[in-house]
């Protein structure tokens, strides 16, 4: 798997759906210099684990917004599938009420660029293509800073849901570092002591 941390996030322009609106040319460049971005990939619309994550992102959306973070979802489904799922009530397996953009990566190029595409496309010597596995995305999540650089990534296999709490913790750690220049140790939470990036600061932290 490619490690994108420390690199510019791969750019793209694709259709996306927000609420009842289909956006023709959605891209991350619009947030550069203005907002952080959490871009998360999920395998499929109209499934079982995926809506628990999408609903939870919506429930915690105000927490992301208070940190100046734009949440963006992405799967290899079409914009029409996204639209239909967004109009389906929660009690019928839908995600009605989700109000952040869902990108349609129907050509699978975005998932491939972020190296979260499951399955393999194999072309033989005759030019015939076959697919091993299913060309959908793993549960990848990327925290992108305001300069467009990836600062954190995590990829789960399809049966394993993610932790929104951990995502918010990492955002807090990044923003604390940017504001104070202090590094954040294991399990650091907002409001806890951090460490200066020198031996004296480390010794001071460890003595507490």
Q: What is the C-alpha separation between 70 and 77, in angstroms, rounded?
A: 21
Instruction: Look up tokens 């939470």; give the residue.
Output: 189
**DSSP string for residues in 64-114:** HHHTTEEEEEEESS-HHHHHHHHTS-GGGT--TT--S-EEE-TTSHHHHHT
CB atoms within 10 A of CB 55: 16
Catalytic residues: 50
Non-local CB neighbours of 203 within 8 Å, separated by 6+ positions? none
Tokens representing residue 93 in the block: 């397996």
Q: Which residues pair with 103 in a beta bridge?
A: 16, 74
Tell me the CA distances in angstroms from 51 to 41, 136, 145, 180, 187, one per residue in order.
12, 16, 26, 37, 27
Q: Euclidean distance between the first and final Cα of the chain, in Å?
A: 38
Q: Is the dihedral of CA 160, 143, 169, 99 positive or negative?
A: negative
Q: What is the C-alpha separation between 182 and 119, in angstroms, rounded?
A: 41
């Amino acid at each position: 798997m490619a490690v994108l941390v420390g690199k510019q996030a791969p750019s793209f322009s694709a259709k996306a759906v927000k609420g009842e609106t289909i956006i023709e040319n959605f891209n991350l460049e619009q947030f550069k210099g203005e907002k952080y971005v959490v871009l998360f990939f999920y395998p499929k619309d109209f499934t079982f684990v995926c809506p628990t994550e999408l609903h939870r992102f919506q429930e915690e959306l105000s927490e992301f917004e208070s940190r100046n973070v734009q949440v963006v979802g992405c799967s290899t489904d079409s914009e029409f599938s996204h639209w239909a799922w967004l109009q389906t009530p929660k009690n019928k397996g839908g995600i009605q009420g989700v109000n952040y953009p869902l990108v349609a990566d129907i050509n699978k190029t975005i998932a491939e660029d972020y190296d979260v595409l499951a399955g393999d496309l194999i072309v033989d010597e005759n030019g015939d293509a076959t697919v091993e596995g299913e060309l959908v995305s793993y549960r990848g999540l990327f925290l992108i800073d305001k300069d467009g650089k990836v600062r954190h990534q995590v990829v789960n296999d399809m049966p394993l849901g993610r932790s929104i709490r951990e995502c918010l913790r990492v955002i807090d750690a990044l923003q604390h570092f940017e504001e104070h220049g202090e590094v954040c140790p294991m399990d650091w939470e907002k409001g806890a002591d951090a460490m200066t990036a020198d031996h004296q600061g480390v010794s001071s932290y460890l003595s507490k």
